[in-house]
């Protein structure tokens, strides 16, 4: 264990490695069942590498912390660049649709009423559109 690592918090993986190492020490006859249970309870309650190292202070290899390497930092990929496209011009489509609906309404009213003068607004709309485009 490197100097200054004693306060580094441990996780489930380190605790499981400690349980395996303690079981190996018990199998070798270095620990009796009571001491194995006590050290396993301490390993389960350990929160830092220093607390875990104290459990193995008087034991030879295997020691899960002796060859423990600091985890390498994982590079975080850069967020993909988001291309912000300007909103599409939908106003043209909306205007054309409104004009078509208006002309359709005027022609329908003309057909129902039979009055030719009702076509004048439709003709004006068509003339304005022709001049604009």
Per residue in 44-60, pLDDT tens? 999 999 898 899 888 88
Is 20 inside a domain boundary? yes
Same domain, 2 and 63: yes
**Residue 96 maps to a domain:** yes
| Residue 78, in any domain of the structure | no
Dihedral sign (CA 49, 54, 56, 58): positive
CA dist., res. 16 & res. 6, Å (int): 18
Structure tokens at 20: 């395996």
Q: What is the largest CA-CA distance in the chain?
A: 112
Residue 107 lies in a domain: yes
Note whether residue 76 is domain-resident. Answer: no
Q: Are 10 and 64 members of one domain? A: yes
Residue 56 sits in the same domain as residue 7: yes
Dist CA 56 CA 60 (whole Å): 8
Residue 48 bridge partners (DSSP): 9
* 33 part of a folded domain: yes
Find out whether the peptide bond into 62 is cis, omega within 30 degrees of 0: yes
Q: Report pTM.
A: 0.48
List the domain range (segments joined by +) for residue 18.
1-70
Tokens 């909306």 -> residue: 94
Q: What's the pLDDT tens digit per position in 75-127?
A: 877 777 667 666 666 677 777 788 788 778 877 877 787 777 767 777 777 77
In this structure, are residues 70 and 79 in contact, taking their beta carbons and an 8 Å threshold?
no
Q: Are 66 and 2 contained in the same domain?
A: yes
């Amino acid at each position: 264990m490197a100097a200054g690592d004693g306060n580094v918090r441990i996780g489930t993986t380190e605790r499981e490695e400690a349980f395996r190492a303690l079981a190996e020490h018990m199998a070798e006859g270095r620990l009796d069942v009571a001491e194995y249970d006590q050290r396993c309870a301490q390993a389960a309650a350990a929160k830092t590498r220093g607390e875990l190292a104290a459990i193995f202070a008087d034991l030879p290899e295997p020691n899960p912390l002796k060859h423990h390497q600091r985890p390498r930092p994982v590079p975080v990929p850069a967020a993909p660049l988001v291309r912000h496209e300007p909103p599409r011009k939908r106003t043209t489509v909306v205007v054309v649709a409104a004009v078509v609906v208006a002309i359709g309404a005027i022609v329908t009213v003309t057909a129902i009423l039979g009055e030719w003068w009702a076509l004048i607004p439709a003709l004006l709309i068509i003339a304005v559109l022709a001049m604009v485009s």
